[in-house]
Structure formats: structure tokens, C-alpha cells
Chains A and B, each alone.
Chain A
Amino acid sequence: AQKITQTQPGMFVQEKEAVTLDCTYDTSDPSYGLFWYKQPSSGEMIFLIYQGSYDQQNATEGRYSLNFQKARKSANLVISASQLGDSAMYFCAMKTVDSSYKLIFGSGTRLLVRP
């Protein structure tokens, strides 16, 4: 079965500090993609970063990086130098060939950045 697990319902971080949001996944498909999305209160899902199962290096996009540990089946999102505007829901998601490329989402983590 294809599954994404996010075990942190809520997280706090102090402005300008780094924070790690956890994500573990379950699939037997050797080819898959992992995505992180940010969802502000407005509702729109904003794409942050992507990691492919065959990528040798961890993905980075500006202040976002993905700590990809394939053997542990984890794909944690690291946000460096947190900003007040980072306060939002964050979702980890996966696509596999077996799931016909639909996005499978976790339950999300609500991040609150404190000034």
C-alpha cells in the first residue's frame, strides 16, 4: 500500500531559526517522486520541493532542503532561517507508477513561526 505519514500535527519555531518537518513514506515501487507543498490559510497548495527516488543528492530550493534517507524511507523538509510568512500547513506527498501518478498526501503539519 502507498502511504505518507506525518507524525507532527503542529510545530513551533522561532523566527530566523531552522526547523525540520518529518515525513515517512511506504511504497514497494522502485520509481517514485516525493513532494512538499505549503498551504496557507487561503487554501492554495504551493509547491516547494521535489525529490526523485533515483536522485543521488538531496534536493534544495532556496531556504528549503529535503533530507532524503531512502533506506529509512524518510523525506524530511528542512526550512532554514524561518520567516513569519512560513506559518502555514505543510504537506508531504508521493507519486508512484503503481498509484498511476496520483498524489498521495500525508495529514500535514501546521507550522507556527514565533517573532
Chain B
Amino acid sequence: DAGVTQSPTHLIKTRGQQVTLRCSPKSGHDTVSWYQQALGQGPQFIFQYYEEEERQRGNFPDRFSGHQFPNYSSELNVNALLLGDSALYLCASSLRQGVNTEAFFGQGTRLTVV
């Protein structure tokens, strides 16, 4: 059973460009969340998708947008990249919602903005 897979694993972009990161959730999981982890910090919640809709959003600008497809896979898009967007982007999947629902993470995409 494949876990959460993310692509690409590494990416280098120039300031002002746009980037798309992809995530395939663990089999059977219907909820996908995205997190940004800056170097030396804990992950910060970006947004969450369930039933192809954005259900909640963290404190991130509109440059960050996403999408969930009918097969539950998801994309994270970042427009007008800034140097400060350089981070590890983690995707997590889970089955429905609850305080006891375990989230499974992918290996992340390391984005470097130069």
C-alpha cells in the first residue's frame, strides 16, 4: 500500500515565477492538508481540502492556492514566488476529520527560490 507521495522532491525557481506541487494521498484517504516548513522551524498549516473544496486556511496570502481532484490527489500552487517561500512543503492525508485522526505525511518537496 503506497503511502503519501509528493512530486517533485526538489525544485529551484526564480523570484516572480509560479510553481505547482503535487500530492497523492494514502489509499482510501479523502482529506489532504498542506504545510510549509521553513528551515529550523515546525510545519505551518497552509490549507486543507476535502470533497474537492478548500475547507480551512491558515495565515497565508492568496498567492497560495490549491486544488483537489476527484481521485483525492491535490496540487499546491504558489504565484509570484518570493525568496521567503523557500521551504519544505509537506502534504498530509487523513481519513475524515477528528482530534484522533492520524495524518500521514509525504517526504515533502524542497522548494528553493533564487
Contact = CB atoms under 8 A, between A and B. Distances in A.
B77 interface: no
A101 B42 contact: no
Interface in A49-107: 50, 52-53, 91, 93, 95-97, 100-107
Contact of A45 (B48, B55, B90, B97): B90
B92 A103 contact: yes
Nearest to B97: A101
Contacts of A96: 99
Interface residues of B, number: 27
B102 A45 contact: no
Contact of B99 (A42, A47, A97): A97
Interface string B13-53: 00000000000000000000101000001111100100000
Contact of A100 (B56, B88, B104): B56
B42 A43 contact: no
A111 B9 CA distance: 25
A32 B99 CA distance: 5
Nearest to B88: A43
8 contacts: A33-B98, A43-B107, A44-B105, A95-B98, A97-B99, A101-B101, A103-B35, A105-B42
6 smallest CB-CB distances across A and B, nearest first, come from A105-B42, A45-B105, A33-B99, A43-B108, A44-B107, A102-B45
Interface of B: 33, 35, 41-45, 48, 55-56, 58, 88, 90, 92, 97-108, 110
Given A33-B99, A43-B88, A44-B107, 9 more contacts: A44-B105, A44-B106, A47-B104, A47-B105, A52-B100, A95-B100, A102-B58, A103-B45, A108-B42
